[in-house]
Structure 1
Amino acid sequence: MTTETPSVLIVEDEPDLARLYAAWLEGSYDVETVSTGERALDAIDETIDIVLLDRRMPGLSGETVLSTVRERDLACRVAMVSAVEPDFDVIGMGFDDYLVKPASKDELRRIVEHLVLRTSYDEQLQEYFSLASTKAVLDAETTEAERKSSDEYAQLQDRLALCRVRLDETMTELLEQGGYRRLYQDLASESIS
């Protein structure tokens, strides 16, 4: 994430609904609202962490905005928030979550919290693999005696261990949120098959 306080962009063509969503999230997140797909594309950059995107809007649709965001390879998480019930047409859209309107305050906050947690997990995983790769190179290219005498190597091992603990804690939190427990079980059973 780009800052300590995650940023949320609400893309909603109904002004009252946009204000309501913003009120529900303000205080916990840096919130910005826009009312069109065109304005969304102008606003979405590396500083935006989460996008709550209406699927059907006049002009540029949420689907087109989402496609453009993915083409630009922006790291934000996108949740479609739509009155359109999902059907098989959502396959391949590339959203991170989908919420059917009308959304409650608890549902909206849960989705945003979940997407922030997923982003945090991804960042932690990237850091873990970077540290593990560094350790693997040093293990292959230095002697055991050199590694034992190196304060930097000891610090690397400590950072790697701490990163692993944080990863485990974040994964546990993701699994406790419910939806991912079933996904994880499905992935585990498919890898066994």
Structure 2
Amino acid sequence: MATNTPSVLIVEDEPDLATLYATWLEDTYDVETAYDGEEALEAIDETVDVVLLDRRMPVLSGDEILSTIREDGLECRIAMVTAVEPDFDIIELGFDDYLVKPVSKAELLQIVDQLLLRSSYDEQLQRFFALSSKNALLKAEKSDAELRSSEEYAQLQDQLAVLRVQVNETMEELLERDGYRRLCQDISRGSVRQDSG
């Protein structure tokens, strides 16, 4: 049965932590857990929207799983949720976001929400560019009189106008949320520095 509820795959080799994350997310999302890389690769397919991926796991590392997911061309969003502090090696990795453990329920919910919003924005942009290409082609090939008299062209213009508004609204929301997230991180880092000082 098809569902509109976004799906999240948690890949975490510590069962207690995987269960905790699943509990935090299950009221909002369809959640599945995998406790190692092989389970993760079996579980992931085109229906998975977001993967929360630990980097350090036995047998297959999170980096190897990430690489396989990207090589397979799956369109899901991936956040590394790991105790591994980021280093310059992350530049080459194909993840969408990175959280260092421990993470709170609010952080986890926020990152999933943010990644789903980015996916929505990507889909809107792809549709916008596809319609814009059609618009440009018709403008180049048809006369102004033909364009004005075409019902289909008028509908295309309406679709472009609506989509332009949606893209702008989603972009504003992305910027607001990312700004809020960064502000919270800065405040958190500031309080940690004060406590240790």
TM > 0.5 fold call: yes
Output the amino acid matched with 1:70.
Answer: R
* 1:186 paired residue number: none
Distance 1:180 1:24, change over 3 A: closer
* 1:23 paired residue number: 23
- Distance across 2 between alignment mates of 1:22 and 1:181: 22
Output the amino acid matched with 1:133.
Answer: S
TM-score when normalising by structure 2: 0.88
- Distance across 2 between alignment mates of 1:11 and 1:71: 18
Per-residue CA deviations over 1:13-52 (Å, capped at 9, x if unaligned) read 1111111111111121111111110111111111111000
- Distance across 1 between alignment mates of 2:141 and 2:180: 39
- Distance across 2 between alignment mates of 1:85 and 1:179: 22
* 1:159 paired residue number: 159
SS at the partner of 2:92?
coil
* 2:60 paired residue number: 60
- Distance across 1 between alignment mates of 2:3 and 2:45: 13
Structure 2 runs not aligned, ≥5 long: 183-197
* 1:188 paired residue number: none
* 1:43 paired residue number: 43
Output the amino acid matched with 2:146.
Answer: E
Deviating above 6 A after TM superposition, structure 1's stretches of 4 or more consecutive aligned residues are none
Distance 1:180 1:135, change over 3 A: farther
Written as runs of structure 1 = structure 2, the 5 A alignment for 1:1-193 is: 4-179=4-179
Superposition deviation, residue 178 in structure 1 = 2.9
Superposition deviation, residue 181 in structure 1 = 10
Structure 1 runs not aligned, ≥5 long: 183-193
- Distance across 1 between alignment mates of 2:3 and 2:130: 21
Per-residue CA deviations over 1:137-182 (Å, capped at 9, x if unaligned) read 1111111111111111111000000000000000000110135999
